[in-house]
Structure 1
Amino acid sequence: MKKKVLVVGVFMMALVLSACSGGFKADHHYSIAPFEFTNQNNEKVSLDDLKGDIWLAQFVFTSCTTVCPPMMSNMAELQEGLEDKGVENYKIVSFSVDPEVDTPEKLGEYLTNFDVPDPAKWEMLTGYKMEDISDLAVKSFKMPVIDDPNSDQVIHGSRFGLVNKEGKVVKTYAGNVDVPFDTIVKDMKALSKED
């Protein structure tokens, strides 16, 4: 009887320890195609430059009249949560889906509209053709980017993509409405501790 109690006790302790360890569990392992784009400071940023950091990706554009302003506000709120939890080695990468209009200067100005806690963590990227960003979004992030020929708007995915230190998309989350803020911060904190 004592042996049975001991085995059950050890099993229960293992369960508690695994639940408390806060380990990260990936939903995907999407490879991101290599890129080198231009950020809001007119600096080149490549996939290799981002390796070693975890990052949250989104697809937005400055003249968006629907999902982009809430996505940007939600990302700023997420950054507050990351700062509160002491997560430091991360980036927020915003790919413009309207690269002909969104110059680095315009993207830099757009970022100032959202009261972000630490603008240095943001890479607002442009400097490519529409086909390039559409390919990257669909193939690497499994999100659509479609130019609307009847307006100045672009149809695009509104999810946030979490990218690990090796440059793989490991999870996606709602970015516009019903954003799971606590889950994203928790996941990023757990992922930032992994080697």
Structure 2
Amino acid sequence: MKKKSIMLVLILALSSILTACGSYKFEPEMNIEVKDFSVTNQKNEQVGLDDFKGKPWLAMFIFTNCNSICPPMTFNMTEVQKALQDKGVEDYQIVAFSVDPEVDKPDVLTNYLKPYSVPDESKWQLLTGYDQKYIEQFARQSFNSLVVNDPNSDQVTHTGSYYLVNADGIVVKDYDGNTNVPVDTIVADMKALTK
């Protein structure tokens, strides 16, 4: 009995060491192709899906007048970016689709990140240049994500998720971007996809 217990402890210790040594294996949980798009970023440049292919990216849905989940989601994404920098992950983008494109023109989006301590703004693409119906359909078709305009207020209902998109433009995983953000898992997944 003692030999079995010792053997079990050794196996567990060995598996912990191997996990710590970088044998992390990324496991996709989703498989949704992002539909092609042509939109405008915060620098008033036209960008499309092809501009993001070749490297993984983290996507989210936000809007500048949001009075609920967008500020914590944006702050949390800056924390994810700091952790990515700390682990030496450089080849990625952060892509935020505005769910209120009538208000969020490029000049408005340009100022959106100012209150946040963004480690590297060059990695951020804040997107607009489409109508409300388009973003609602695009979110549903490309991310299986809900976006609904509230006609009785200036708010838009949307999910608080981050989406991991691989270098081929396929959504492979999503994470809570609002309250229980799994920063270490996101970093490990991004690191695995940038190898």
- With the length of structure 2 as denominator, give the TM-score of the two structures: 0.89
The one-letter amino acid paired with 1:105 is D
Give the length in aligned residue pairs: 181
Aligned twin of 2:5: none
User: 1:139-178 counterparts in 2 under 5 A?
Assistant: 139-178=141-180
SS of residue matched to 1:112: coil
State how far apart, in whole Å, the 2-side matches of 1:44 and 1:119 are: 18
Q: Please state how far the C-alpha of 1:89 moved relative to its aligned partner.
A: 0.6
Task: Name structure 1 gaps, 5 residues minimum.
Answer: 1-11
Q: Find 1:70's aligned residue among 72, 79, 82.
A: 72
* Displacement after TM superposition at 1:24 (Å): 1.2
Q: Distance in 2 between matches of 1:45 and 1:176?
A: 27
Cα offset, 1:18, TM superposition: 7.7
**Separation in 1 of the partners of 2:55 and 2:44?**
21
Alignment deviations for residues 145-167 of structure 1 (CA, whole Å, 9 cap, x no partner): 00001100000011000000000
Q: 2-side partners of 1:85 and 1:173: how far apart?
A: 19
| Structure 1 moving runs of 4+ over 4 Å | 15-20
| Aligned-residue offset at 1:21 | 2.1
Give the partner amino acid of 1:161: Y
Residues 20-59 of structure 1 mapped to structure 2, 5 A cutoff: 20-59=22-61
**Which of 63, 67, 73 does residue 61 from structure 1 map onto?**
63
Partner of 2:116: 114
Deviation by residue 1:102-142 (Cα, 9 ceiling, x = unmatched): 01111110111211000000000000011111111111111
What pairs with 1:116-135 in structure 2 (closer than 5 Å)? 116-135=118-137
Q: What are the Cα deviations for residues 63-97 of structure 1, in whole angstroms up to 9, with x where unaligned? A: 00000000000001100000100001100000000
Q: Partner amino acid for 2:97?
A: F
- Hey, what's the Cα distance between the residues in 1 that align with 2:132 and 2:178? 22
CA distance in 1, matches of 2:76, 2:84: 12
Q: Using the alignment, how far apart are the partners of 1:143 and 1:30 within structure 2?
A: 11
Q: What CA RMSD, in Å, does the superposition of the two structures yield over aligned residues? A: 1.6
Q: For 1:33, what is the secondary structure of its paired residue?
A: coil
User: 1:135 & 1:18 partners in 2: Cα distance?
Assistant: 43
In structure 1, the partner of 2:3 is: none
Of residues 60-69 and 127-136 in structure 1, the stretch that sits farther from structure 2 once superposed is 127-136
Q: Percent identity?
A: 53
